[in-house]
């Protein structure tokens, strides 16, 4: 499955890159990014990219019954297709600011691929080491026990039937109890920070810098991509003359 996914993803990206590079010679219409076909590709790329970014709220929603594995596969497939269509739309024009949006999405693709394909393989052998991998060598520090107890008290208001050790905040909790959810999330972050500081956790010894930070970079790039995409759409549609500069405004936009 993994090899098939990698092969299909690579093929889709090569197709998008091939169109971007060869369109002036292989298509009978105007292939520029703002021409009718190019603008349609841009709209399709924006829709696909936003759909891929909806993975984060979707996996936290109780309304979607699909297993997380299916959501991950959908996230990957939509994201790769969106990146390929964005490449085709860009025509590899690197001299204008919208290329930064494409670079952010390609960075998303790269960090996501690293996390799912490479980091998972590197981290796999580190799990389950030792004679009793699921039995702690010593009791947790009192500070961690106090954090867990604070989380349990808040969890009684959020979802009484849930277990603190396996519970993850969903959109339903954020919507119904935003302040308690924020408090629970803050305690979870502090607990994670203290857990990683423990020598027995092996966070620094067993995990390289890329394994520790790829997800952070992935999320930062996601925010940058969203901001850049919104800025690009707003400027080319509502401020076309300013976006064009000294160029001709040849794309569809809202005129004054």
Q: What band does 123 get if pLDDT is binned at 50, 70 and 90? A: low
User: Is 48's pLDDT higher than 90?
Assistant: yes
Q: What is the largest CA-CA distance in the chain?
A: 73
pLDDT digits (tens, 9 = 90+) for 181-237: 999 999 998 988 887 777 766 666 666 777 778 888 998 999 999 999 999 999 999
1-10, 41-50, 114-123: which has the highest mean pLDDT?
Answer: 41-50
Q: What band does 47 get if pLDDT is binned at 50, 70 and 90? A: very high
């Amino acid at each position: 499955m993994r090899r098939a996914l990698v092969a299909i993803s690579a093929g889709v990206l090569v197709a998008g890159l091939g169109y971007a590079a060869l369109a002036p010679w292989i298509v009978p219409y105007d292939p520029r990014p703002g021409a009718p076909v190019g603008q349609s590709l841009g709209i399709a790329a924006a829709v696909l990219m936003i759909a891929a970014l909806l993975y984060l709220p979707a996996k936290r929603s109780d309304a979607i019954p699909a297993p997380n594995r299916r959501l991950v596969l959908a996230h990957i497939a939509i994201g790769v297709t969106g990146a390929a269509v964005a490449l085709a739309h860009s025509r590899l024009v690197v001299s204008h600011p919208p290329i930064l949006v494409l670079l952010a999405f390609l960075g998303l693709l790269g960090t996501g691929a690293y996390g799912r394909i490479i980091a998972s393989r590197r981290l796999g052998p580190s799990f389950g080491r030792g004679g009793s991998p699921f039995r702690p060598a010593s009791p947790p520090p009192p500070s961690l026990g106090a954090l867990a107890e604070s989380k349990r008290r808040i969890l009684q208001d959020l979802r009484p039937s849930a277990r603190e050790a396996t519970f993850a905040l969903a959109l339903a909790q954020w919507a119904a109890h935003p302040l308690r959810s924020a408090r629970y999330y803050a305690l979870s972050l502090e607990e994670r920070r203290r857990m990683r500081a423990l020598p027995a956790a092996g966070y620094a010894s067993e995990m390289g810098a890329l394994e520790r930070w790829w997800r952070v970079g992935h999320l930062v790039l996601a925010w940058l991509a969203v901001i850049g995409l919104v800025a690009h759409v707003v400027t080319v549609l509502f401020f076309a003359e300013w976006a064009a500069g000294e160029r001709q405004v040849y794309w569809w936009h809202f005129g004054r």
